[in-house]
Amino acid sequence: MRSPYPAIVSRRRQLMLKRAIDLLLIFIALPILVPLMLLISILIRLDSPGTVFFIQKRAGLHCIPFNCFKFRTMYANADQTIHQKHIEAYAAGRLNESNGVKLTNDVRITRVGKLLRRSSLDELPQIINVIKGEMSLVGPRPLPMYEVEQFDLWHNERFLMPPGITGLWQVKGRSYVSFDDQLRMDIRYIRKWSIWLDIQLIFETIPAMLSAKGAG
């Protein structure tokens, strides 16, 4: 018997396949990821006092909040409202596109934190979120909840896929696009999604990380 909701069934199958590939790739990469994450953890602890991980509420699939893991790149007790005010100005179009979602010359960032941000290695702990089923390897950027508060109605289409460690915006745009253009790229990824697009973006992530273009 055919389902009366073929589009919903198709999307569920797509998400199941996407998750299976995520877990397979993580399993293959674990021998490299575990020692690398251990080394980064040691460097963070040597560089400044505080925890190894930074945990923040982010918007997941269907805008359901989850605890997103990153390596800590800021000094302990740094003011987290500074970026929130920056995003409000960014979404309102009061900033030059070259500023983007990132703060330039942010004094809250540690020495090791600067290296991690330039290489995007601060995102590595998000593989924990992928294993838990809260994220995917590829997808829209996991946004802080205060960033979602700036959304217009049409922006919500980006929540039809789980957020990703890398994605179309992370590879093609990074910090150099407007607030709306960033969201258009997320929506374009969802509409054009395929396994082959995910594989392409994973391969393109490596040179994007090495170039550090738009990171920070």
Per the prediction, the chain carries an average pLDDT of 84
Q: What are the tens digits of pLDDT across the range 108-162?
A: 899 999 999 988 899 999 999 999 999 999 999 999 998 888 888 888 899 999 9
Question: Could you tell me the pTM of the whole model?
Answer: 0.83
Residues 155-195: tens digit of each pLDDT? 889 999 999 999 988 887 666 677 788 889 999 999 999 88
User: 203 is written with which tokens?
Assistant: 């391969």
C-beta separation of 118 from 212 below 8 A: yes
